[in-house]
Chain A
Amino acid sequence: AQSVTQLDSHVSVSEGTPVLLRCNYSSSYSPSLFWYVQHPNKGLQLLLKYTSAATLVKGINGFEAEFKKSETSFHLTKPSAHMSDAAEYFCVVSDQRDSGYSTLTFGKGTMLLVSP
């Protein structure tokens, strides 16, 4: 069984300061890991995906995440927050079966608040 723990339900930063959203996972397989973002009353947008090609993954809008197997972590970072980054962020682990379909397990989400 796989699971995801997002360590903070809310993170508050000031515009222009760094962002760190923390995620730990457990999986019986070699997992794929994702970060999705959801702006208020919107659907989910894929930020980035880890698939074992490189431990540091760059995503859209200046976000990146580092996969650390020894720590079973996949933290999301951004050097400088922008007001438009205010949203809810979900860390997700995938269990892709041999038949091809995948089952995703979502963390409970971290709400990022950005103040001027």
Chain B
Amino acid sequence: NAGVTQTPKFRVLKTGQSMTLLCAQDMNHEYMYWYRQDPGMGLRLIHYSVGEGTTAKGEVPDGYNVSRLKKQNFLLGLESAAPSQTSVYFCASSNYPTDTQYFGPGTRLTVL
């Protein structure tokens, strides 16, 4: 039981490049979330999903897209990376009735 895993762990992009971050969970959780962590800001919600095929915007969605084609996977895409998207990205999952979210190890992204 791996819990929540994220791929890749590190990535460096140039401005304007695109990439996709993959989150996978093996706990059969219904709900999945993408956050970004910036120094002194805590974690802020980018997008979330309440089930396969559904997504919704969080607090800071601009510049990101997401897809949830399979229940166990939640993808975060950057179509045209900007230096402001340099951050650490965390994925999390949870399941009713508990509201406890379980976090992945994070992806450190640098945009030059």
A residues neighboring B (CB under 8 Å): 4, 9, 32, 34, 36, 42-46, 49, 90, 94, 96, 99-104, 106-109
Contact = CB atoms under 8 A, between A and B. Distances in A.
Interface of B: 30-31, 33, 40-45, 48, 50, 58, 90, 94-97, 99-106
Contact of B101 (A9, A42, A99, A102): A102
17 contacts: A9-B40, A32-B99, A42-B106, A44-B43, A45-B103, A46-B102, A49-B100, A90-B43, A99-B50, A100-B30, A100-B50, A100-B95, A101-B48, A103-B45, A103-B58, A104-B33, A107-B42
A102 B58 CA distance: 12
Nearest to B96: A100
B103 A43 contact: yes
Contacts of B102: 46
A34 B40 contact: no
B43 A106 contact: yes
B107 to A, nearest CB: 10
A9 to B, nearest CB: 7
B31 A100 contact: yes
Contact of A102 (B41, B42, B90, B99): B99
A93 to B, nearest CB: 10
Contacts of B31: 100-102
Contacts of A49: 100
A94 B42 contact: no
Contact of B42 (A34, A42, A101, A106): A106
Contacts of A43: 90, 103-106
A96 B94 CA distance: 11
A58 B44 CA distance: 27
Contacts of A106: 42-44
A108 B106 CA distance: 18
A115 B57 CA distance: 42
Contacts of B97: 100
